[in-house]
Amino acid sequence: MNNNFQRDIDLGLSAQNKTLPSKYFYDEIGDALFVEIMKMPEYYLTKAEFDIFKNKSQELIKVLKLNPSTFFELVELGAGDGTKTKQLLKALDDQNYNFEYMPIDISKNALKHLKASVNAELPTVRITPKQGDYFNVLADLKQSEHPIVVLFLGSNIGNLPDERAKEFIQKLSDNLKVGDRVLLGVDLIKSESIVLPAYNDAQGITKRFNLNLLTRINKELDANFDLNSFTHQPEYIEQEGIARSFLVSTKDQTVAIRSLNKTFTFAKNEKIQTETSRKYNDYIMKGILGESSLKIIDRLTDSQNLFADYILENGH
């Protein structure tokens, strides 16, 4: 990881338009800050998807075409804290559906915490965490004849540029059998007045989350970024439906990254892009599904129409 980290930071900061990959937000501090972001009143995404899972669990079960007597694997990509998923697990468990819940994550620690909380709250739900790469675990599961329902929630796919998202969908469908289903949660395109505050909460948690990337580079690559000389700047273009986060240099400055034996110069007002958060509509979703065999069979939204859970089925 550290070698990749070092290489990716070097590449991103050496480019004409500087970038840093958003996947590196999530060290221990970043994980905790993201939990705080989800509690911010401006961050509507988590609340909206929770609304669907809490108030439309019966509809979810229906559109996923689940059968109480046919065993299935409920696979979740990314462990999270399970707040949303537990609503669905509870509804399935109450109605005696025959299934096993299988969260997949790279982090052993995240899986350990999730298993403990599911065991405590829903002791009759079978949970088998799988540590590893999403696609390796799915490739293993493809060997079994049980139907699979994949959950990929939280608009996590939105961090991928459209071309990468398309590749992700293609790989996902390659690792599923005919008839397997996917529940893909995405944020919907809406006005700037709602989206921008979600990435610029009044308490400044998102700002700390963004700046933590520089703290992480300082710690792990022995660098000397001055956190007071960069500001957090989110932008959103409603016509394209993409929110982007930047760190902006507030002055002409030079930063040394000792583990790279290099210095990087930043002009006053120069931007480093740290994140892309794509928003969707049916047209964009269809474009991303592209030539893959995953097809939209339904879509549920929250009561305010902020967020959508697309139900996809894998064809031939």
Tell me whether residue 237 or residue 256 sits nearer to ligand AVJ (CB atom): 237
Contact status: 49 vs ligand AVJ (CB under 6 A): no
Closest contact distance (angstroms) between CB of 291 and ligand AVJ is: 25
* 3-class state of residue 174 by DSSP: helix
Q: Is 83 in the site for ligand AVJ (CB under 6 A)?
A: no
Q: Which is nearer to ligand AVJ, 266 or 307 (CB)?
A: 307
Q: Name the residue nearer to ligand AVJ (CB basis): 46 or 87.
A: 46
Binding string, 194-223, against ligand AVJ, x = CB under 6 A?
Answer: -----x------x--x--------------
Residue 45 binding ligand AVJ, by CB under 6 A: yes
Residue nearest to ligand AVJ (CB): 277
Interface pick for ligand AVJ out of 129, 154, 185, 241 (rule CB under 6 A)? 154
Question: Among 153-161, 175-183, 189-197, 220-228, which window interacts with ligand AVJ (CB under 6 A)?
Answer: 153-161
Q: Is residue 275 part of the contact set for ligand AVJ (CB under 6 A)?
A: yes
Residue 156 sits in the site that holds ligand AVJ (CB under 6 A): yes
- Residue nearer to ligand AVJ on the CB measure, 36 or 167: 36
Q: DSSP readout, 101-157?
A: EEEEES-HHHHHHHHHHHHHH-TTSEE--EES-HHHHHHHHTTS-S-EEEEE-TTGG
Contact range with ligand AVJ by CB under 6 A, out of 120-128, 148-156, 261-269, 285-293: 148-156
How is 201-223 classified by DSSP, letter by letter?
-TT-HHHHHHHHHHHHHHHHHTB
Q: Is 309 in the site for ligand AVJ (CB under 6 A)?
A: no
Q: At what angle do helices 83-94 and 44-55 cross, to 10 degrees?
A: 0
Alpha-carbon dihedral sign for residues 71, 138, 134, 184: negative
**What separation in angstroms does the CA of 288 have from each of 102, 153, 167, 264?**
26, 16, 9, 36
* Least Cβ distance, residue 260 to ligand AVJ (angstroms): 26
CA angle 52-81-158, nearest 5°?
Answer: 60
Cβ atoms within 10 Å of 285's Cβ, excluding its own: 20
* Torsion on CA atoms 296, 66, 125, 134, rounded to nearest 10: -30
**Token pair of 80, please?**
């999270």
CB of 4 to ligand AVJ, least distance (A): 20
Contacts of 65 (CB under 8 A, 6+ apart): 181
Return residues touching ligand AVJ (CB under 6 A). 37, 45, 154-156, 158-159, 199, 206, 209, 275, 277
